[in-house]
């Protein structure tokens, strides 16, 4: 499969590339320069013409692009970027889109502060955080496109990400220090990459609808969120339990 990765030079990029490069042709793009053996094109995801051009000849698009702090740039990347990606998918008849974002695309503070076993299929309440609003708007743009065009979107939702081999008990990271509670939505980098592989491999006719969201994290005892859908629908199984970070 020919796969375009938008935002390939971010933190997720190397792990997603590693999970796919042995079986697929990858075209990487980012607004920043990237040293890689794969095909690379410099692309600003907020530029419609650039996104449409770089998508030609692709079978799938993975969107790893993100920008958090600046109001205008966050909108341009997180929301308009999704619009540009979907326009490109329709133009080039690309049927498989894998988007990414934080869990509060759907489950903002009104869920997170009070509920447990939160499903990715709850009615979206992203809250007022700039990153959450713009990412949620981007996801809604994707959903609307799936209702009017022959394209499928899978949105993989994450939060805290780490490498359990390098985040030991002596780490300065509050996630890693024993005796302190870890964030109950934490995923290893290799499990993150594996989730994208599953989203690329899954048969589209096995999905419940043309727009599906998934919470991606291991089987943590906190049961704050539910990963059941990602395991059942995508066939994703986490390799890292991260128990060294939550066992006291």
**pLDDT given for residue 175 in this prediction:** 46
Q: Which residue has the tokens 């939702």?
A: 157
Q: What ranges make up the beta strands (E) of 49-200?
A: 60-63, 96-102, 152-158, 160-162, 186-188
Number of domains in the chain: 1
166 in any annotated domain = no
Q: What is the pTM of this model?
A: 0.93
Q: Which tokens is 225 given?
A: 């969120």
Asked whether the predicted pLDDT for residue 215 surpasses 90, the reply is yes
Task: Give residue 174's pLDDT band: very low, low, confident or very high (50, 70, 90).
Answer: very low
The enclosing domain of 28 has a CATH number of: 3.40.50.720
Instruction: Report whether 215 contacts 225 (CB < 8 A).
Output: yes
CA distance 26 to 171: 34
226 in any annotated domain = yes
**pLDDT given for residue 167 in this prediction:** 66
52 in any annotated domain = yes
When mean pLDDT is compared over 85-99, 161-175, 218-232, the highest value belongs to 85-99
Domain range for residue 62?
Answer: 2-161+186-236
CA distance 190 to 58: 25
CA distance from start to end of the chain: 45
Asked whether the predicted pLDDT for residue 176 surpasses 70, the reply is no
Asked whether the predicted pLDDT for residue 144 surpasses 70, the reply is yes
Burial-class residue 245 by CB neighbours within 10 Å (0-12, 13-18, 19+): buried
**H or E segment to which residue 141 belongs:** helix 130-148
What's the mean pLDDT in 73-90?
A: 98
Burial code (b: 16+ CB inside 10 Å, e: under 16) for 76-115 equals bbbbbbbbbbbbbbeebebebbbbbbbbbbbbbeebbeee
141 in any annotated domain = yes
175 in any annotated domain = no
Task: Give residue 98's pLDDT band: very low, low, confident or very high (50, 70, 90).
Answer: very high
Asked whether the predicted pLDDT for residue 180 surpasses 60, the reply is no
167 in any annotated domain = no
């Amino acid at each position: 499969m020919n796969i375009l990765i938008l935002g390939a030079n971010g933190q997720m990029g190397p792990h997603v590339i590693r999970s796919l490069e042995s079986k697929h042709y990858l075209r990487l793009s980012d607004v920043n320069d990237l040293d890689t053996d794969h095909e690379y094109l410099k692309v600003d995801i907020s530029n419609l013409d650039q996104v449409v051009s770089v998508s030609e000849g692709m079978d799938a698009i993975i969107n790893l692009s993100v920008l958090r702090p600046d109001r205008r740039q966050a909108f341009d990347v997180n929301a308009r970027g999704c619009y540009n990606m979907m326009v490109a998918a329709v133009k080039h008849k690309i049927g498989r889109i894998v988007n990414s974002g934080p869990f509060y695309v759907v489950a903002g503070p009104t869920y997170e502060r009070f509920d447990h076993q939160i499903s990715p299929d709850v009615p979206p309440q992203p809250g007022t955080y700039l990153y959450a609003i713009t990412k949620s708007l981007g996801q809604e743009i994707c959903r609307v496109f799936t209702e009017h065009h022959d394209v499928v979107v899978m949105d993989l939702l994450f939060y805290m990400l780490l490498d359990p081999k390098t985040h030991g008990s002596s780490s300065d990271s509050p996630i890693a220090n024993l005796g302190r509670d870890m964030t109950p939505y934490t995923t290893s980098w290799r499990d993150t990459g594996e989730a994208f592989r599953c989203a690329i491999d899954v048969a589209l006719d096995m999905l419940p609808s043309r727009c599906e969201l998934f919470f991606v994290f291991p089987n943590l005892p906190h049961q704050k969120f539910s990963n059941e859908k990602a395991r059942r629908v995508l066939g994703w199984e986490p390799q890292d339990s991260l128990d060294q970070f939550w066992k006291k």
